[in-house]
Amino acid sequence: MNIRNASLRDLAIFISNYLADNQIETILTGGACVSIYTRNKYLSLDLDFVLVSDTRHEQLKVLLKDIGFHQGGRHFRHRETRFLIEFLPPPASVGEEPIRRAAEIKKGTKTLKLLSPTDCVKDRLAAFYHWDDRQSLEQALMVARHNHVDEKDIERWSKAEGKQPQFRFFLKRLKMGIVA
């Protein structure tokens, strides 16, 4: 793997498969999914992987060191790439709900598990709902406009989070077709 020239998507596929080969299952989440679903219209430098089951941090540290990633704080860095890798503890969830089915992207024989476009929108909306983060709202809109998402499911989830008025605001922006 040529780390220096790897795109976010290729690096995510590489890391995820390398860990899977070592019996560590992950799901890519956060801004990296926005990058993938918007074809880098929004470019994240963070690859946040949720661990599917409990994994010893020491084990991750050793495995990543073998491919040139070193720990700096909570992140892992490689001297040939700007991308940072972070691992989040299980469970994989959006708000109060577990992620029941991850999406998959295939490249040759390799597979990357990541949030589905619908879950990615929920993930971004959670930041907008709870912290009033406008950047996250814009990212949710970008993903929703570039991909097929299940609006009914997002509405149901928003209701469960107690954020119906904010969902209506999101939907209004989505229908207006204006994305910053």
Partner 1 sequence: MLEAIFESPVKEKVLLFLYANGESYPREIAREYSFYINAVQYQLLKLEAAGVLYSMLRGKVRLFGLNPRYPFKKELEGLLEKALQFYPESEKAKHYMKRRRPRRTGKPL
Contact segment (CB under 8 A) with partner 1 among 31-39, 100-108, 109-117, 123-131 equals 123-131
Q: In the numeric block, which tokens belong to residue 20?
A: 């899977």
Q: Whose Cβ is closer to partner 1: residue 93's or residue 111's?
A: 93
Q: Whose Cβ is closer to partner 1: residue 91's or residue 165's?
A: 91
Three-state DSSP at 168 gives helix
Residue type, 23: Q
Which of 32, 102, 126, 154 touches partner 1 (CB under 8 A)?
126
Cβ neighbour number for residue 104 with a 10 Å cutoff: 10
| Position 98 contacts partner 1 (CB under 8 A) | yes
DSSP state of 69: -
Contact segment (CB under 8 A) with partner 1 among 9-17, 31-39, 92-100, 134-142 equals 92-100
| Position 95 contacts partner 1 (CB under 8 A) | yes
Q: Whose Cβ is closer to partner 1: residue 14's or residue 128's?
A: 128
Burial bucket for residue 10 (CB in 10 Å: 0-12, 13-18, 19+): middle
Do residues 48 and 28 lie in contact, with contact meaning Cβ atoms separated by under 8 Å? yes
DSSP state of 89: P
| Position 71 contacts partner 1 (CB under 8 A) | no
| Position 159 contacts partner 1 (CB under 8 A) | no
Which of 21, 96, 175, 177 touches partner 1 (CB under 8 A)?
96
Question: CA 44 from chain center: how many Å?
Answer: 10
Which of 93, 111, 147, 166 touches partner 1 (CB under 8 A)?
93
